[in-house]
Amino acid sequence: MPASSRPAEPRVWDRYDPRVTVNRSATALSGLARVMAHCGGSPMQALRYINGAIASAPEDPEPYAVLADLWKEQRADVAQLLQGANSPGAVLAQSYISFLENNMDDAAMSIGGVTGARPTVAWARAPWFSDTRFLGAVSADALAEAVMRTMDFGHDLDAEDMRERLRPWFQAINVVCARAPQPEAMAKMAIFLRACGQTDASFALCDRADTLKPLMLTEVVRAGTWRKLGDPDQAAAAFQRALILEPTNWSLYLDLADLHAEQGDFASAVQLIEKGLEQGPGEVTLRAAGAAYRARLTGSPDYLRELIELIQQLPKDSYRGQLIDLACAGPTLPPDLVAEAHRLKSH
C-alpha cells in the first residue's frame, strides 16, 4: 500500500507480538476487537486484538467470527492493510481470510509460516484447520509446502509438548494423503514428521509414496531418517537406491561422501567426490568437500590451501564449518595454515 495512506499502520504491525496479549482473556480481546471494528473505526487495532485473542486460545471460534465480520464489513480496508504485509500478525489474519475465500492452499501455507515463526502456540488448533471444507480441498502440494515452512526458522520440533501442539498437522497429513496422495508431496511431509521425532510415521509415509512412484527424494528422506536414528549403513543403502533412480545427480555422491567422512572413511569419501565431479565438474561444494577430505586423508597443505580458497564461496553455515574442522584435523598440517582456515568459519 502507498506509504502516505496510512503512515502509522506499519509501526502498529511491527509492534505486534502475541506474547503481549497471550495472558489476557481471549473473550475480552475478541470483545475489544468488536469494539474497534464497529465503534472505534480502526481495522488495524481490531486485527491486533483478534490476533492476540487467537494467540491466547487458538481453538476458540470467537476471534475468527470477529475477523469474518470485519472482512465482510470492511473488506477494502482490511485488504489494504494486509497487502504486502509479512508480519506474523498479518500472515495469521491472512490465513483465515484465505479460508473464508475458499483459497485453502494459501490458508495452509500462511498458517505454516506462522507456525514456523512461533511454534510455541498451537495455531493449527484453529477450528477452520480441521474443518472438512479445508481438509477436503487443500492440495497435497500446498500442505507439503506448509509443513516445510514450519521448519524454516530452525526451531526444535522434536519434543513431546511440541508434538502435542502440532498434532492437527499430523491429522491433516493423514487425511490429505488418503484423499489425494502425491509421492513428492508425501516425501516432503515425511521430512516434517522426522523433524517432529515421528520416525516410524515418516518411514511409513515414504513406503506409501513408493507404492505410487519410487522417487529419488523419497530415498533421500529415508536416508536422513536413518541418519537421525544413528544407522549409517541403512542411510548409505538408501542413498545408493537414490543413485539408481538418478545416477547423474551429483549431490547424491556428495551426500554419500559426507556419510563416509562422518564414519572416518575418507578414502571412500574422496572416491565418491570424484564420481560426483564427473556429473558436476564445476560444483564448488563438491570441490570444497574433495579438498577437505583429501587434506584430512593425506595431510597435504596444498589441499588445505585449496579448501581455504573454495570455502569462501560457500554459505556461512554449519556445513562450511564441518568441512574446515575435518580438514584441519589432518596429520602434520602447518599450524598457521590451520589457523587461517579456522578464521574462515566466522568470517
Q: Averaged over 319-330, what is the pLDDT?
A: 95
Residues 55 and 59: their CA atoms lie apart, in Å, by 9
Residues 260 and 239: their CA atoms lie apart, in Å, by 12
DSSP 3-state percent helix, strand, coil across the chain (nearest 5): 75, 0, 25
User: Can you list the alpha helix ranges (DSSP code H) found in the chain?
Assistant: 9-15, 26-35, 43-56, 62-73, 75-82, 88-100, 104-117, 132-135, 140-149, 160-179, 183-195, 199-212, 216-228, 232-245, 250-262, 266-279, 284-298, 301-311, 318-328, 335-343
pTM (predicted TM-score): 0.87
Alpha-carbon torsion 128, 131, 133, 137, what sign?
Answer: positive
Query: Between these two residues, 40 and 48, which has the higher pLDDT value?
Result: 48
Q: Is 198 helix (H, G, I), strand (E, B) or coil?
A: coil
pLDDT of residue 46: 79
Query: Between these two residues, 54 and 296, which has the higher pLDDT value?
Result: 296
Residues 175 and 130: their CA atoms lie apart, in Å, by 10
Q: What are phi and psi of 5, to 5 degrees?
A: -75, -45
pLDDT of residue 252: 98
Output the CA–CA distances (angstroms, integers) from residue 285 to 4, 282, 291, 307, in the order listed. 46, 9, 10, 10
pLDDT of residue 181: 97
Q: Averaged over 66-79, what is the pLDDT?
A: 89
Residue count of the chain, please give it.
347
pLDDT of residue 73: 86
Residues 33 and 19: their CA atoms lie apart, in Å, by 17
pLDDT of residue 124: 97
User: Can you list the alpha helix ranges (DSSP code H) found in 101-131?
Assistant: 104-117
Q: Is 92 helix (H, G, I), strand (E, B) or coil?
A: helix
Query: Between these two residues, 57 and 295, which has the higher pLDDT value?
Result: 295
Work out the number of other CB atoms within 10 angstroms of the CB of residue 264: 11
pLDDT 10s digits, 86-135: 778 789 989 999 999 999 999 999 999 999 999 999 999 999 999 999 99
User: Of 232, 229, 271, 277, which Cα lies nearest the Cα of 250?
Assistant: 277
Write the CB contacts of 104 (distance below 8 Å, at least 6 apart in sequence): 98, 133, 134, 137, 138, 139, 142
pLDDT of residue 304: 97
Question: Does residue 187 surpass a pLDDT of 80?
Answer: yes
pLDDT of residue 2: 35
Residues 190 and 172: their CA atoms lie apart, in Å, by 13
Question: Does residue 143 surpass a pLDDT of 80?
Answer: yes
Q: Averaged over 210-222, what is the pLDDT?
A: 98
Residues 90 and 5: their CA atoms lie apart, in Å, by 18
User: Of 172, 118, 165, which Cα lies nearest the Cα of 143?
Assistant: 172
C-alpha cell at 20: 503481549
pLDDT 10s digits, 238-275: 999 999 999 999 999 999 999 999 999 999 999 999 99
- Which residue type is seen at 116? G
Residues 166 and 115: their CA atoms lie apart, in Å, by 9
Which of 5-14, 41-50, 134-143 is predicted least confidently? 5-14
What's the whole-number average pLDDT of the chain?
88
C-alpha cell at 186: 508425501
